Amino acid sequence: MSITTTATRYREIATEFASVLASPSTEREREQRRIAVMCLPFFVLGTFAAFVPLVVMARMSVSADPFENAGYSLEAWRTLATDSTYLTVAWNTLWFAALTTIVSVALGVAISHALEKYSLPFENVLVAVLSFPIALPGIVVAFLIVTLLGRQGLVTNLAAVFTGQSAIDLATATTVTGLFIGYVYSLVPRSTMVLRGTYAEINTDAEEAARALGAGSIETFCHVTLPQIRPGVVAAIILTFRSALAIFGTVLVLGGLTVATVRINYEISVGFDSQLAGAIGVVYFLFILTFTFASLRFVETSVVEL
């Protein structure tokens, strides 16, 4: 099919869709118009908050002038592809986000399982405490880690008293360990909230049947419960991994690793290399978009049936 034919076909589809929106004649067409009207605010928001800035950022990445989008140059992309500094940043971003995602989702599964399967005391208080970190900015989370694991932190000084070592030597707030704790503290509530909704849809009859047939708790979880919550686990992984990639305030304060969000800030505020910052941003956006659509293929709503 030629380009002209394809363009003509798209114009026909657009014209037909506009006609349906303007004067629907069937219930299906009226439903389509209601859906389109309801989606319109999100489309407008996406256009001005995502698509337009993305186009400008892509243009910025190939600009020859650092102060305005003028001329064309691929120097930023060549630097991004060949400079080992940016390859290290990409590797740090991926492995650290993946590690914290795995740990956070595993903890989310354990917490959700405990909340849904057992009658815990003060359950509402526990849920409130678990969800509290979601409302905290990354900088506040970083400060909490410093007050616990910094040189004057509570945990650090308690450990110094019992071990006899210097608090300065024991401080881990600004190391990879401190950053890891800060990430997990922020991400566990997100994975838990997603998984709690999934646990509410579990077929408990299948679990009871498995236990009646002699399956232990671990066997029941692995062969009956886990397949049912798999869509929730995948959704939690998607949300948590994307959140880990986007964390800025925590890693900016605690340091420990240089990741993409911090590097973009560095390029803009220190080096004022808007082209390189734009190139990093485009790669960052495309990676997250690809990851999201690839991961959604593994989300299924099927459950175990008796």
28-64 per-position pLDDT tens digit: 767 777 777 787 788 888 788 778 888 888 898 888 8
Looking at the structure, do residues 45 and 163 belong to the same domain, yes or no? no
| 171 and 232 both lie in a single domain | yes
218 in the same domain as 82: yes
Task: Note whether residue 47 is domain-resident.
Answer: yes
Q: Is 304 inside a domain boundary?
A: no
Query: Token pair for residue 214?
Result: 């002699």
Task: Based on the fold, state whether residues 38 and 116 are members of the same structural domain.
Answer: no
**Is pLDDT at 129 greater than 60 in this prediction?**
yes
The reply to whether 220 and 268 lie within a common domain is yes
Residue-range definition of the domain harbouring residue 221: 76-296
**Do 85 and 154 sit in the same domain of this protein?**
yes
| Structure confidence at residue 304 (pLDDT) | 38
Give the pLDDT score at 299: 65
What CATH number did the domain enclosing 136 receive? 1.10.3720.10
Q: Is 68 within the bounds of a domain?
A: no
Angle, CA 239 vertex, CA 236 and CA 243 arms, to 5°: 130
Helix runs in 132-273, H state only: 138-149, 154-163, 167-170, 176-199, 204-212, 217-220, 226-246, 249-254, 260-269
Instruction: Give a yes or no: residue 251 inside a domain.
Output: yes
- What are the C-alpha distances in Å from 203 to residues 33, 199, 223? 37, 9, 13
Same domain, 213 and 172: yes
Same domain, 112 and 49: no
50 and 171 belong to one structural domain: no
In this structure, the answer to whether residues 89 and 50 fall within a common structural domain is no
Q: What is the pLDDT of residue 241?
A: 94
Would you tell me how many other CB atoms lie within 10 Å of the CB of residue 22? 8
Q: pLDDT by residue (tens digit) across 89-127?
A: 999 999 999 999 999 999 999 888 888 877 778 778 888
State residue 51's pLDDT score: 84
Q: Do residues 6 and 142 share a domain?
A: no
Burial code (b: 16+ CB inside 10 Å, e: under 16) for 147-179 equals ebbbbebebbeebbeeeeeebeebbbbbeeebb
- Say whether both 14 and 80 belong to one domain: no
CA distance 147 to 95: 27
Asked if residue 33 is part of any domain, the answer here is yes
Q: Is residue 305 part of a domain?
A: no
pLDDT of residue 108: 92
Neighbours of 51 (CB within 10 A): 11
More confident residue, 272 or 159: 159
Average pLDDT over the chain reads 83
Residue 302 CB-half CA count within 13 A: 6
pTM: 0.79
User: Which pLDDT band holds residue 22 (cuts at 50, 70, 90)?
Assistant: low
Domain count, the chain: 2
Residue 306's pLDDT is 35
Domain-located, residue 302: no
Q: How confident is the model at residue 136 (pLDDT cuts 50, 70, 90)?
A: confident
Alpha carbon distance 207, 196 (integer Å): 17
